[in-house]
Amino acid sequence: MSSFASKHLEGPGGIREMLIVALPMVVSSACETVMIFTNRLFLSRQGSEPMSAAMGGGLTSFMMTTFFLGLTGYCTALTAQYLGAGRKERCAITITQGLIISLLAYPLILLCRPLAILLFESLHLSPGQLALQKIYFNILVYGSILSLIRNCLSAFFSGIGKTRWVMISALAAMGINVVANYLLIYGKGGFPALGIAGAAYGTLLGETCGLGILIAAYLSRENRQTYGVPSSLRFDWDVMRRLIRFGYPTGVEFFMNMFAFNLMILMFHAAGPTTATAITVIFNWDLVSFVPMLGVHIGVISLVGRHMGEGAPDIAHRATLSGLKLAALYAFGALIAIAVFPEVLVGVFRPALPDPIFAQAFPMAVFMLRMASVYVLADAVMLVFSGALRGAGDTFWAMCISVTLHWLLVVQLWFAQKFFHWSPQTSWFALCTTLMAFSGILYLRYRGGRWRTLRVVEPDPFGE
């Protein structure tokens, strides 16, 4: 047992260190999953169209923030590298640069809002879904500044390894969101029944609560003294330059991937209400299997970044392997649950009243969900090795591999629908197969070892 512990659990880069950072992030990611999941679950009781509209509108709103979320999200790796290099004062300065980017991004996002509406209208969605999708999208996009600022502050605590604050913020946001959704969607407790608009307002209320907790923690006396928060509230060109240089590939990757993912969802939705319902159910459960592993992904970024800042690539490699073990363990459990109980999982979204659309979509969704189980382990591999590459600073190639994969899937689906006229089930099978094949490419990039020689920040020559 002692040899096992020394090899896998204990010491820098071991599973224990990874758990300390990653477990709160897994809980946080799971909370985000619950928020999205309950939105669609509550709306599914009102029919298939509100559920599908929430998915299309929510994903599009999120897509419009993804470049800036990816760019400022690199504050996690940069903060971790500064901490590892012994330059604590640079950690808070990094977050200030992220906040500046977020404030500048918000009006740009709102200017692009009409383009999203045009996208909805060009896809010939059913009139009922289109009207609801516009309502949900508009409310969320106007509140996007909340998620931009919250992302920056979450990156700070992830970077310094105090991820419990991110977890507490996410738990509070989830609790407020679920309660508010129930009250506002159905009109309980004296509130008006707002339907899909209530789901959007509930989401923003949860975001506001979660953001408030992070602000309070960031401005606490201990944090102000340790990281020099008051003196960090200024523009710093050197840190901004590093954030943009290493963060823009992550931002481009996040935006391009989400754009591709959103297009695939909308292409399935355009195939008709039955396919739209089936694919919405599939991706609701895909969130449950995928998003919690993002916590491990962020943990890998944080620890690899910290140990690379210390100049210890071997420990960074050990942290990567620890993250892979944790992600694979979770993915295997998700695979078993999805493969064995697909009928039960699809049935969770059955509307309260008989719905012919859902009845037709049920067997399609069961088949597609069973197929989805086969790429869960591939997701674990991709998230861990892409996190390691990003934490070390190899963000450009991580971007190239990931973006190529997602847009290959879009082209593949377009040909399947327009030229080959494949059924939704056959198209989905082809997408799952391609996704699995790409997990090996990120591993080969990581195994190549160039990330070991990269330097994002330098140690403080004066030891400050």
Distance CA 443, CA 435 (A): 14
Long-range contacts of 399-404 (CB under 8 A, 24+ apart): 399/249, 399/250, 399/252, 399/253, 401/438, 401/441, 401/442, 401/445, 402/253, 402/257, 402/442, 403/252, 403/253, 403/256, 403/257, 403/260
Contacts of 367 (CB under 8 A, 6+ apart): 425
- pLDDT tens digits for range 134-192: 999 999 999 999 999 999 999 999 889 888 898 899 899 999 999 999 999 999 988 99
pLDDT at 437 over 80: no
In the chain, where the domains are located? 9-453
Q: What is the pLDDT of residue 464?
A: 40
Q: Residue 159 corresponds to which tokens in the numbers above? A: 């970077």
Q: Using 50, 70 and 90 to split pLDDT, how confident is the model at 4? A: low
Q: Does the pLDDT value for residue 75 go beyond 60?
A: yes
Q: How many residues does the chain have?
A: 464
Indicate the pLDDT class of residue 463, thresholds 50, 70 and 90: very low
User: What is the overall mean pLDDT for the chain?
Assistant: 87
294-324 tens-digit pLDDT: 888 888 988 998 888 888 899 999 999 999 9
Say what the pLDDT of residue 140 is. 94
Whether 293 and 379 have beta carbons less than 8 Å apart is answered as yes
| Mean pLDDT value of segment 74-80 | 90
Task: Tell me the pLDDT tens digit for each residue of 199-250.
Answer: 999 999 999 999 999 999 999 999 999 999 999 999 999 999 999 998 888 8
What is the per-residue pLDDT across 325-382, written as a single tens digit (0 to 9) for each? 999 998 899 889 888 899 999 998 888 778 888 999 999 999 988 888 878 888 888 8
Burial of 330 (0-12, 13-18, 19+ CB in 10 A): middle
pLDDT of residue 462: 35
What is the reported pTM?
0.78
pLDDT of residue 461: 44
Tell me the HSE value of 461 on the side-chain side, using a 13 A CA sphere: 0
